[in-house]
Amino acid sequence: MFINPRTTRLLAVGYAALAATLAAQAASLNGRLIARPVTPGNAETYSLPANLEYSGGLTNVGVGTPVFLEADVSLGITGITNVAFTITSKPIGSAAVIAPSPLPTNMGIYEPADQSVYEVAGRALLRPDVTGQYTVSAAIQTMTNGSTNVTFNVIAATYMGAFVCELCHSGGIAESEYPYWTNTLHSMIFTEGIDGQLGANYSVSCLKCHTVGYDTNASSYADNGFYATQLADSWTFPTNLAFTNLAISNFANMPPSLQNLGNIQCENCHGPGSAHAYAFGNTNLPGWPLLTVTVSSGDCNQCHDDPTHHVYGTEWYASSHAVTTTIPTGSGRDQCVMCHTSIGFITRLENTQSNLVAGGTITNFPATNTIYAAIGCQTCHEPHGNTFPTNNAPNTHILRTLASVTLGDGTVVTNAGEAELCMECHHSRNGGASNNVVNYQLGLATWAGGSSFGPHDGPQGDLVEGANAITYGLAIPSSAHRLTVSNVCVGCHMQAVATTDPGFLKVGAHTFELKYNVTNSGVVTEVDQVAVCNQCHGGITNFNFPVEDYANTGTIQGVQTEVQTLLNQLSTLLPNSSGVVDGTVKTSLSTKTNWTQAQLQAAYNFQYVVSDGSLGVHNAPYATGILKASIANLSGVSVPGGLPDAWENLWFGSITNAAGAPNADPAGDGIPNWLKYSLGLNPLVKGSLATNGVIFGDVSVLGGATNTVQIYTAAEVAFNTQAGTNYWVQGVSSLSGGWQNVSPMLTGNGLPYSYLTPTRNDVQQYFRVVHNP
């Protein structure tokens, strides 16, 4: 048979293109195979079987403990035709098989941050039956996006107890986590519980989390966990939890083998340690360290997502930390991940605070690890208790650090208590405000990762401390929040919320949120959690409560309204995206290096207040102070709708003196300040009343000459405008007559407009404003 060479080449090209297409489709699946965490909260929400074990989603588990396998693909993938799970390798003697998953199909992706990235393709169950490594693969096939094959390794091991971990992890051969752990609440929770120190409600149900390897389903597999050892030692839970002295201590009289497995230990979080221990530190072994080292929330939430009493993890699900964006991670994002991912933050503390308490360093995470992980439990808490220096402050909650924080302008914060951990990230990354403006104009680096303008996204620490803004050399007042609120950020954002409160699990505590939505008859209402505010401010129902007339409008409005008024006023004085000052209100700015220094200084303060996100609640005097200073620096007018500061200070001594308001008449002659300012008159000198007006004599005019000025009666017609709309002021002496234009065409610019028209010859006059369009 003859085959045309050209046809052969075309077929080859076609097959190559097809192969490339299929490869691209498989990549777009973004498939992965994981062990899904299963928490007590999941069990309650989805009515899971009562005897189903919880899981932290660990990579190593006790023999006989289930691994809830989950194959995921990119969110939005349609047409999944088949997901086939296969054990591709397992230890000699294992009879383990892939079984159907007991998890319901309506149970979605576990990690909140992953829910916008992945969807479940299929699930299965693996229950290892002997020690060793198991490799599972999942072949995922779709109608539209090709197929992919993903794998997952599981190490099955037995429990050893903390006494075995102590042999290496007491500062000799390896890191010294063990001594620090002995001072944590985890290390004594079971001891205190069975000795009656946690109350009469302590029961067998607590042991699933408060001991090592308490798995009633796995006891026949000899996992050497607490439950299997309890059966072997014929120990039963004590009926009397009263503690009188050590002689009758329930814990002290337990078999040593059970004491070794009591309390929340290393293996509760890292998984059973026999494979790790038997490796004797041989880091060259495949799969080292042969136990789980993770910052996944599932590790903690296998116990701490258990409403209504163990809810730290449940609260965290509702936090913004749980869904921290994945964008600022990955290769080349070394500077960003220092705050935007858990591993990056931990690494930063290790690298920048090397003066650890005696006993070694943590080496789990390489310095340049830019892999994404949400800001979770282990980000802020050091589970072993081996924390960084704490300014001699008590560290009950094993926070990673309570060391002082240096803000971008050099301000050192030492008085924030536990909030100093928050301020490690919640402050401007872009250095000092003045340097940021100068370097940005010159195209120089404004921070370690680039030359961006402004304070970045989280300057809450700067604002609450009243620091690191453009102050124009002025002494800007600051609120007392930083001095009076216990632990500053923590005092408000982590306020306790009663289980009976509608905001329970939505605000406060580890949600860090202070707003939540309530739906009633289809109407969604946003609720501010102001309970903690009422301790000082008393009787308020939302954050936008009146304090003082910060914007100097003559009316005391809500503090957030006052701040927004000033932001709007300032934005009208700044250029638009085309670089033109158009007088319109702007919600965001597009700064350019060719803006004037005054514009960039004002823009910095605008972004500083907007990026904080509280609209002044964190520190209203400072926020409003820097906004008014910016407005004055650009226009000479600090008060929205007011007269120039220099003129008011000259005649009234202060821009806040009510006698200097534009419509005030301090001389009592019927002529307002704004008109006297326009004519260059002394607002405190009363003119002589005359028919239809007021006469001022010997008034200095240009060139030093004198003249007599007579001010006649007139009408001021003031109205708001929209840019691009034309307006006419019309008048009529009788409503039965025809309206006539009394003004030329006035083109709107988005700002309020004031038009004057004479009335000295009118008995009466009516006015209106018309516009087109």
Question: In this predicted model, what pLDDT tens digit does every residue of 170-203 receive, in sequence order?
Answer: 876 667 889 999 999 999 999 999 999 998 899 9
CA 598/CA 575 separation, integer angstroms: 12
Question: Could you report how far apart the first and last alpha carbons of the chain are, in Å?
Answer: 79
Summarize the confidence of residues 548-568 as an average pLDDT: 92
Say whether pLDDT at 603 is over 90.
Answer: yes
124 has which bridge partners? Answer: 69
Which residues, listed in sequence order, are joined to residue 32 by a DSSP beta bridge? 72
Average the pLDDT over each of 75-89, 171-185, 417-431, 465-479 and give the range with the smallest value. 171-185
Q: Give SS3 for 35.
A: strand
Q: Tell me, what's the pLDDT at 387?
A: 79
Tell me the average pLDDT across 221-247.
86
Residue with the larger pLDDT of the pair 659 and 678: 659
CA distances from 257 to 165, 215, 272, 481, 657 (A): 14, 16, 16, 52, 79
Is it the case that residue 243 has pLDDT exceeding 80? Answer: no
The torsion region of residue 613 among left (phi > 0), alpha (psi -120 to 50) and beta comes to: left
Q: Residue 488 pLDDT > 90, yes or no? A: yes
Does residue 642 have a pLDDT over 70? yes
More confident residue, 418 or 19: 418
The arithmetic mean of pLDDT across residues 36-60, rounded, is 95
Q: Evaluate whether 739 touches 772 at the Cβ level (below 8 Å).
A: no
Q: For residue 404, which phi and psi values (nearest 5 degrees)?
A: -60, 155
Res 773: pLDDT: 86
Q: Please write down the long-range contacts of 240-249, taking CB distance under 8 Å and 24 or more positions apart.
A: 241/193, 241/194, 241/195, 241/196, 241/200, 241/202, 242/196, 243/195, 243/196, 243/197, 249/195
In the chain, % helix, strand, coil (3-state, to 5) comes to 30, 15, 55
Site of tokens 């397992």? 90
Paired with 122 in beta bridges are 71
User: What pLDDT, on a 0 to 100 scale, did the predictor assign at position 390?
Assistant: 66
Cβ within 8 Å of residue 88, ≥6 positions away: 135, 136, 137, 151
Q: Is the pLDDT assigned to residue 361 strictly greater than 70? A: no
**Which pLDDT value is given to residue 533?**
93
Q: Please tell me the distance from the alpha carbon of residue 495 to that of residue 489, in angstroms, as a whole number.
A: 10
Higher pLDDT, 109 or 758: 109
- Ranking 11-15, 133-137, 419-423, 477-481 by mean pLDDT, the lowest is 11-15
Instruction: Please check whether residue 533 is in contact with residue 508, taking contact to mean a CB–CB distance below 8 angstroms.
Output: no
Nearest 5°: CA angle at 685, between 680 and 691? 90
- The pLDDT of residue 564 is 97
pLDDT for the residue 620:
96
- Arithmetic mean of pLDDT, 334-339: 86
Indicate the range of 118-122, 362-366, 576-580 predicted with least confidence: 362-366
Instruction: Give the per-residue pLDDT at 701.
Output: 46
Q: What integer is the mean pLDDT of 569-594?
A: 94
For the chain, the domains span 25-157, 162-271, 645-712, 715-772
Q: What is the chain's mean pLDDT, rounded?
A: 88
The whole-number pLDDT of residue 697 equals: 62
Give the model's confidence band at 342: pLDDT under 50 very low, under 70 low, under 90 confident, else very high. very high
498 backbone φψ class: left, alpha, beta (φ>0; ψ -120 to 50): beta
pLDDT of residue 391: 63
Highest mean pLDDT among 38-52, 331-345, 380-394, 708-722: 38-52
Return the pLDDT at 352.
Answer: 64
Q: Which fold has domain 25-157?
A: Immunoglobulin-like (2.60.40)
pLDDT number for residue 131: 96
Q: What is the spatial distance between Cα 34 and Cα 41, in angstroms, rounded to a whole number?
A: 20
Give dist(CA 305, CA 40) in Å, integer.
Answer: 6
Q: Is the per-residue pLDDT at 296 higher than 60?
A: yes
Task: Using the structure block, give the residue that is written with the tokens 């329930």.
Answer: 250
Mean pLDDT comparison of 20-24, 27-31, 468-472, 683-687, highest-scoring range:
468-472
The pLDDT of residue 242? 73
**pLDDT score for 10:** 37
pLDDT in tens, 4-23: 433 333 334 444 444 444 45
- The stretches of 572-664 forming alpha helices (DSSP H) are 597-612, 620-635, 645-652
**Residue (of 74, 67, 2, 66) closest to 31 by Cα position:** 74
At 709, is the pLDDT very low, low, confident or very high (cuts 50, 70, 90)? low
pLDDT higher at 359 or 199: 199
pLDDT in tens, 21-34: 445 555 589 999 99
Q: Judging by DSSP bridges, how do beta strands 147-157 and 60-62 pair with one another?
A: parallel
Can you give the pLDDT at residue 174? 67
Looking at per-residue pLDDT, the higher value among 700 and 141 belongs to 141
Distance (Å, whole) CA 422 – CA 461: 8
- Residues ≥6 apart with Cβ < 8 Å to 73: 29, 30, 31, 80, 118, 119, 121, 140, 142, 145, 148
Give the per-residue pLDDT at 367.
58
430 or 320, which is more confident?
320
